[in-house]
């Protein structure tokens, strides 16, 4: 559960509170990583809605370094809010749940830059 102080700050800052890691997503990530790594495949990771809201930039960078097994080359992608919202709305069962129902809030949420972590070098 989200700490009450953090929940309050998110509300005051008008920032989505995010979501904790989803067990099935973590399982798929870890199983894919276990299969690709021995084959010499270099994998990068990205954090976008709703997970990056629940984690600080430093936490995400440390997780990516642990998963990659070394230094990362992080960067951010600023999405086109209209294009991203159009795609997000295709996931009908999750759109209102994650993005709310107010169009202005939805655009603001999908406009948050995404973080990408690639292996350095």
73's enclosing H/E stretch is: strand 72-77
More confident residue, 56 or 69: 69
Tens digits of residue pLDDT in 14-48: 777 666 677 888 898 899 999 998 898 888 998 87
> Which of 4-13, 31-40, 49-58, 75-84 has the least mean pLDDT?
49-58
Q: What is the pLDDT of residue 73?
A: 93
Model confidence at 99, pLDDT cuts 50, 70, 90, reads confident
Contact 85, 11 (CB under 8 A): no
The total of other beta-carbon atoms located within 10 Å of residue 75's CB is 12
Can you give the pTM of this predicted structure?
0.72
Is pLDDT above 90 for 92?
no
């Amino acid at each position: 559960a989200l700490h009450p102080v953090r929940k309050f700050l998110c509300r005051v800052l008008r920032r989505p509170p995010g979501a904790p890691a989803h067990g099935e997503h973590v399982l798929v990530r870890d199983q894919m990583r276990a299969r690709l790594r021995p084959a010499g495949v270099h994998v990068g990771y990205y954090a976008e809605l709703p997970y990056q809201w629940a984690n600080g930039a430093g936490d995400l960078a440390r997780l990516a370094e642990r998963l990659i097994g070394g230094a990362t080359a992080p960067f951010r992608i600023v999405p086109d809010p209209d294009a991203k919202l159009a795609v997000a709305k295709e996931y009908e069962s999750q759109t209102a749940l994650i993005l709310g129902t107010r169009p202005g809030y939805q655009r603001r949420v999908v406009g948050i830059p995404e973080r990408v972590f690639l292996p350095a070098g």
